[in-house]
Amino acid sequence: MVRDSRLTGWLKQQRRQLVDRLAAGRQPGSASGGDVDRVRQQYLVSEQRFRALLESLPKVAVQGYDRDRRVIYWNEASTRLYGYTQEEALGCLLEDLIIPGPMRAGVIQAHRDWVEHGKEIPAEEIELRHSSGEPVPVFSHHVMLKEHTDDPLMFCVDVDLSDQKRAHRELDFATRFDRLTQLLNRHGFEEQLDLALAECRVHATSLVLVYLDIDHFVEINDALGYEQGDRLLVELAQRLNGSRRASDILSRLSGDEFVIAFPGVQGLQDMAHLVRKVASVMQAPFLLDGRRSKLSACLGIATFPGNGETASELIRNADVAKNRAKLAGQGEVVYFNQPLHDELLHQHRLSDRLERAVEAGELLLHYQPQVSAISGHIENLEALLRWMPPEGPPVSPAEFIPLAERSGLIHRIGDWVLESACRQRSLWRDAGLELQRIDINMSGRQIKRSGVFEDFEACVARHGLGPRDIGIELTENVLIEADDAILGGLRRLHARGFRIAIDDFGTGYSSLSYLKHFPVTALKVDRTFVRDAPNQPEDRAIMEATVFIGHRLGLEVVAEGVENREQLELVREMRCDLVQGFYFFRPMAAEEIERLLAGMVPGSGSLSS
């Protein structure tokens, strides 16, 4: 209080001087005694306002210091900001109170320069010290009063920046870190990875990037709920964090995707070790919903300098490798390489174009006849999908069907195929063309859609057709992987008289003993057997056995891919029922089929002689 009264004293002195100046300047007629009183009054009011203002600003700490930098004024906000009460602060030296050690000499010098040479201390953002020793970020203004007297006073007006700094830190955290796992997010990781890459360049070392993606995480999330999913992510983050060296950079890029950068790698030996180390974090079971569950993850690996120059390039390429690993199965590890990337890029573009192709009507069906091995008469047609992009060459279904399977587009395509085949079949029937049946191909994902067989039957019925008009071809693997619901659906179709063929027989599990369990009516022996049987006794033996058992089970046997006379002779000898292949007919557009069925065009193959 003693010191505080110095400020009050100083303010009083200022007021006296002002009043004296006014009184001294008062000339006859220039100002009256009333004027002086009014000015005095105004001054008093303004002084009170000034003090009230200083005291009332909660966030503006004001301190006054004398020539020796001893505290002469200390407001409430200063107490709040720096932790010293007014009593504690008054009389103390500025540098002993709130100036951190390393700044002491500079502060003393700056104060001296101002007092002695009039060199102002600019306003600035600085970090001062709380009584507890904690840093206090402030924006500090400095005002010198009575500058050129023996008693100069420095006032510091400090605005507390803690909230701003905290908000800034929080914002920085949110933009660079993942809230759930507290690991770097993509943005923060890219920043640090670029720095690490610069280091690698300087020291001519390599860097390995491992991209990790938990297998079936979506299913875990769906089945057990987000809380369990989150817990799993945190647990994995801790495991990865625990196994890394200080210089390794770890991040959760998104969802269940983590990435770890290992800078300073020397050789291939090192790399294999690192990959094993990352893979090993999945070894111990995870506690999910109170139960210990074994999980796996796919890894994609990219290296610097081989697989990319920048952080984003390396991350992208490790991601490409990881996606490839996912396609290969659970717990797979794939190293990035350029041809692989080009292939994926091609597939990605194709997949994109296919989506538009379906809408733009660029798909059409061709039909390949199956002829009787004995009479050469056309018995059925197989509908084969064609994609004719206007801007390029036709794309083979062998290439685009797997893509459509992956993207789920197969359902729309499959619906379109069924609809088109049914429409064509009823048109030909109305035109009086003699024809048994059109078979359509169905892929694995297609038949997993619930209600697929009901939809199939409904479509057939909508076109006024029945079981003798439209059949189905499924590959052996699709049948073996089919669950009870699918087999039940197929059994219903079979019981109603629909024809169901096993396609490409001999390329999958090829287990003849399975045959009796499947509700099928025909076997299509894969064309690789037809191709190789004339010269390979083993293929010939397998094919003969297949035809024999097929017949014993009451199935029709179709030989696929018959291209020449020799093959035809062989399949006839083996007593195949139907023959399909270029030797007779290639897949053809509907108009060509019409001309063929109307007897205007002969088949290229012949059974005579």
Give the residues lining the site for ligand C2E (CB under 6 A).
368, 384-385, 396-398, 401, 417, 440-443, 473, 503-504, 527, 561-563, 580-582, 587
Residue 368 binds what, of Mg ion, ligand C2E, none (CB under 5 to 8 Å, by partner type)? ligand C2E
Output the CA–CA distances (angstroms, integers) from residue 506 to 124, 380, 509, 546, 556, in the order listed.
82, 22, 7, 9, 15
Site membership for Mg ion, residue 370 (CB under 5 A): no
Pairing outcome for strands 363-372 and 378-387: antiparallel
Residue 248 binds what, of ligand C2E, Mg ion, none (CB under 5 to 8 Å, by partner type)? none
Task: Quickly list DSSP for 310-377.
Answer: SHHHHHHHHHHHHHHHHHH-TT-EEE--HHHHHHHHHHHHHHHHHHHHHHHT-EEEEEEEEEETTT--
Q: Which stretch binds Mg ion (CB under 5 A): 96-104, 339-347, 448-456, 469-477?
A: 469-477
Residue 63 binds what, of ligand C2E, Mg ion, none (CB under 5 to 8 Å, by partner type)? none
Phi-psi region of 504 (alpha: psi -120 to 50; beta: other; left: phi over 0): left
Residue 69 or 445: the one with the smaller Cβ distance to ligand C2E is 445
Site membership for Mg ion, residue 319 (CB under 5 A): no
Are 220 and 226 spatial neighbours (Cβ–Cβ below 8 Å)?
no
Residue 232 binds what, of Mg ion, ligand C2E, none (CB under 5 to 8 Å, by partner type)? none
Are 358 and 411 spatial neighbours (Cβ–Cβ below 8 Å)?
no
In the complex, minimum distance from the CB of residue 366 to ligand C2E, in angstroms, rounded to a whole number = 7
Residue 54 binds what, of ligand C2E, Mg ion, none (CB under 5 to 8 Å, by partner type)? none
d(CA 106, CA 221): 58
Residue 142 or 366: the one with the smaller Cβ distance to ligand C2E is 366
Residue 320 or 525: the one with the smaller Cβ distance to Mg ion is 525
Distance between terminal CA atoms of the chain? 129
Residue 295 binds what, of Mg ion, ligand C2E, none (CB under 5 to 8 Å, by partner type)? none
In the complex, minimum distance from the CB of residue 437 to Mg ion, in angstroms, rounded to a whole number = 13
532-546 burial: b if 16+ Cβ within 10 Å, else e: bbeeeeebbebbbeb
In the complex, minimum distance from the CB of residue 482 to ligand C2E, in angstroms, rounded to a whole number = 15
For 249, the 3-state DSSP assignment is strand
In the complex, minimum distance from the CB of residue 360 to Mg ion, in angstroms, rounded to a whole number = 25
In the complex, minimum distance from the CB of residue 392 to ligand C2E, in angstroms, rounded to a whole number = 17
Residue 379 binds what, of ligand C2E, Mg ion, none (CB under 5 to 8 Å, by partner type)? none
Site membership for Mg ion, residue 503 (CB under 5 A): yes
Starting at the edge strand found earlier in the chain, the sheet holding 60-65 runs 71-74, 60-65, 153-160, 135-145, 124-129
Residue 385 binds what, of ligand C2E, Mg ion, none (CB under 5 to 8 Å, by partner type)? ligand C2E
Residue 170 or 419: the one with the smaller Cβ distance to ligand C2E is 419
Helix axes 217-224, 226-242, angle to 10 degrees: 130
In the complex, minimum distance from the CB of residue 397 to ligand C2E, in angstroms, rounded to a whole number = 3
In the complex, minimum distance from the CB of residue 410 to ligand C2E, in angstroms, rounded to a whole number = 7
In the complex, minimum distance from the CB of residue 350 to Mg ion, in angstroms, rounded to a whole number = 21
Residue 137 or 397: the one with the smaller Cβ distance to Mg ion is 397
Which two tokens mark 252? Answer: 């959760």
Restricting to residues 435-454, name those near Mg ion by CB under 5 A.
441
Site membership for Mg ion, residue 476 (CB under 5 A): no
The DSSP call for residue 260 is E
Q: Which of 66, 319, 504, 556 binds Mg ion (CB under 5 A)?
A: 504
d(CA 310, CA 300): 17
d(CA 248, CA 250): 7
d(CA 470, CA 492): 15
- The phi, psi pair for 256, rounded to 5°, reads -105, 25
> Cβ neighbours of residue 189 under 8 Å, at least 6 residues apart?
249, 251, 253, 259, 261, 311, 315
Residue 249 binds what, of ligand C2E, Mg ion, none (CB under 5 to 8 Å, by partner type)? none
Task: Give the footprint of Mg ion on this chain (CB under 5 A).
Answer: 441, 473, 503-504
